[in-house]
Amino acid sequence: MNGDTSYGGAVSSSVVTGPDSVSPPGVFTRPYRGLSAGIVALVLLVAFEYLAVATAMPVVARALDGRTLYGLAFSGPMAASVIATVAGGRWSDVRGPIAPLWTGVGAFTAGLLVTGLAPTMHVLIVGRFVQGIGGGLFSVALYVVVAQVYPAPMHPRVFSLLATAWVLPSVVGPAITGAVVEHVGWRWVFLGIPLLVAPAAVVLWRGLATRVIAAPPQDAAAPASLARGFGARLTWGGVVAVGAALLQYGSGLGSDGYALLVAGLVILAVALPRLLPRGTMRAVRGFPSVVLVRGFAAGASFAADVFVPLMLTGERGLSPTLAGLFLTGSALSWSLASWIQGRGRYDRTRLLRLGTGLVAGGIAGTALLVFDVVPLLAGAAAWLAAGFGIGLVYPTLSVLTLELSAKGEEGKNSSSLQIGESVFSVVVIAVAGAVLAGFDPVWWVYLLCFGVIVAPAALGPVIAGRATR
C-alpha cells in the first residue's frame, strides 16, 4: 500500500456507527503486522511509565520534600505537551510524521533519565517537562501514521488496540512499581524504562520501513500560509504553557498562590480558544464538541489517577504496592471497554453519554473511600466503573477525530484534540491540588478535591450528543 492510497483511505465521508458490513482486516494481518507491533511496543512503555509515576509519586514527593509541587509533577508534562503537539501536528501535516515521531521518542527518553537522576523536586519537574515535550510530539505523529496507513474501517480496531496496549502494564506494572519503590528505590522506576526503549524503537522502525509515509501534497501557496498559521499557533501555545505553569505553581502554594492561580486561569481563558476549533467552548456540533468532551473526560480521569493513590496511602494507609494494585483494575476495565467498542456496531452518542456518566459516577464513588466505614471493595468497584467509562469514551473520540478531518488536517486536528485534553487536565489537577495544598488533608478536603474532579465529567453526558456530524 503506498502513502497516497492509504492516506486517502483514512478519511471517511460520513460518520458511521460501527465497522463496515464487511469486516475489516485485523490489525495484525500480514500487511499491518510489523507496524502494529511497533506501535504497541512503544505504547506499552508509555503506559507503564504513566502507571509507574502515579504509583511512585507519593514516595518521590516525600523523598525529595516536594509535597507542595506534587500536582506540578503531573501537570508539568501536560503543559509541555501543549507546545509539542502544536509543533508536532503542523510538522506532521507539512513534512510527514516520521521526524516528529523519532524526535519525540528521543526527548521522552532523555526526560526519563533526567527525572531518574534528579537531586531535587525542581530538577525532577524539569525532567518531567522534557518527557511532556517528547510525548506530545510522538503521540500526535502516531495519529497521522494511523491516518495514512490504516483504512478508515480499521480505525476503531486500531484505537482499541492502542487502548488494549495498556493491559499488560496495568496487570503487572503498578505491583512491580510498588515493589521497586519499596525494595530497590524510586529512581529505578524512571531509569529502568529507557533500557526498554531501544528494542521497542527497533520494532517500530522495522514496521515503518515497510511503509511509504509522506506529507500530503500542498499547493504552491500553501507553505507561506502554513508558516503564518504555524507561527501564530506556536505563539499561542507558548502563552497557554505560561498560563498552565502559573496555574500549577500557584496551586502548590496554598492561599499564598491564589493570585497566580487566578492569573493562570485568565491567561488560559484568553489563549486556549486560539488553539482549539472555533466554537469548542460553546460545544458547537461536530469536531469542536469532540474536543470538549475529550477534555472534560480526560481532565477528570487523569486528575483522579493523580489523587486517588494519594488518598489511598494517606487516608486508608495502603502501601504503594497495594495502591498500585488498586489502579490496575481501572486500567483493565478501560482496556476491556475499548476492546468492546472496537468489535461491534454501537451508536457513538450512546457510547459517549454512557462513558462520561460512568467516569463521573465512578470517581464520585471512589472518593467515598475517605470514610473508613466504606469497604475498599466498594471503592474498587466504583473505580472499575470509571475505568470502563473512559475506555468507551477515549477510542470513540479518536475515531471521530479522523472521520471529521479533511485530508491533510489529521495532524492539526489530532493536535487540537490532545491540546484540549492536556490543558483541561492541567486545570483540573491544578484546582484540585490548590484545594489540597490550602488545607490540612482531612476527609472533607479530599471530598472537595474530588468534587472539583467530578464536575467536568458530569458535563460530558450533556454535550456528548453534539460530538457527531
pLDDT tens digits, 367-420:
999 898 999 889 899 999 999 999 999 889 988 888 887 776 777 788 888 888
Instruction: List the grid coordinates of 294.
Output: 475529550
Of 191-195, 314-318, 398-402, the least confident: 314-318
Q: Which cell numbers in the block locate residue 430?
A: 491544578
Domain ranges of the chain: 27-466
> In 188-208, which positions are buried (b, 16+ CB within 10 angstroms) versus exposed (e)?
ebbebbbeebeebbebbeebb
Q: Which amino acid is at 178?
A: G
Give the per-residue pLDDT at 364.
94
pLDDT at 114 over 90: yes
Identify the residue with better confidence: 205 or 451: 451
Q: Crossing angle, helix 287-314 and helix 320-341, to 10 degrees?
A: 160
Which CATH superfamily does the domain covering 27-466 fall into?
Answer: MFS general substrate transporter like domains (1.20.1250.20)
Point out the least confidently predicted range of 219-233, 287-301, 402-416. Answer: 219-233
What pLDDT score does 230 carry? 65
Compute the Cα dihedral for 35, 37, 41, 46 and give only its sign. Answer: positive
Is the pLDDT reported for residue 226 higher than 60? no
In this predicted structure, what is the pLDDT of residue 215?
Answer: 52
Cβ proximity of 266 and 324 under 8 Å: no
Q: Are 157 and 342 in contact (CB under 8 A)?
A: yes
- The least confident of 29-38, 118-127, 285-294 is 29-38
pLDDT at 246 over 60: yes
Q: Is the Cα torsion angle 421, 427, 428, 429 positive or negative in sign? A: positive
Which tens digit of pLDDT belongs to each residue from 247-272? 877 777 777 778 888 898 999 999 99
The predicted pLDDT at position 227 comes to 54
Direct distance between the N- and C-terminal alpha carbons of the chain, in angstroms, rounded to an integer? 29
Q: What percent of the chain has pLDDT over 90?
A: 19
Please name which of 236, 230, 239 lies closest in space to residue 91, comparing C-alpha atoms: 230
Q: Confidence class of residue 22 from pLDDT cuts 50, 70 and 90?
A: low
Residue 148 DSSP one-character state: H
Pick the closest to residue 458 from 228, 327, 299 (CA basis). 299
pLDDT band at 1 (very low <50, low <70, confident <90, very high): very low
User: CA 312 to CA 441: how far, in whole Å?
Assistant: 12
Only one residue has cell 502513502, namely: 3
Closest among 167, 168, 180 to 321, alpha carbons compared:
180
Q: Tell me the C-alpha to C-alpha distance, in Å, between residue 185 and each of 19, 70, 153.
A: 47, 18, 46
Whether 351 and 293 have beta carbons less than 8 Å apart is answered as no
Predicted pLDDT of residue 213: 59
- Would you mind telling me the total number of residues written for the chain in this entry? 469
DSSP H helices, 342-375, are 348-367
- pLDDT > 70 in the chain, percent: 86
Residue type, 89: G
Q: Which distant-in-sequence residues (6+ apart) come within 8 Å of 385 by Cβ?
A: 333, 358, 361, 362, 365
Q: Which three cell numbers stand for residue 411?
A: 495532524
Q: Residue 8 pLDDT > 60, yes or no? A: no
Cα distances from 98 to residues 83, 145, 275, 285, 337, in angstroms, run 18, 8, 23, 32, 30
Q: For residue range 331-354, list pLDDT tens digits in order.
A: 788 888 888 887 767 788 899 999
Residue with cell 510522538: 138
The band of 171, judged by pLDDT with boundaries at 50, 70 and 90, is low
Pseudo-torsion of CA 102, 231, 126, 262, nearest 10°? -140
Number of helices followed by number of strands (H, E) in the chain: 17, 0
Query: Which pLDDT value is given to residue 2?
Result: 35
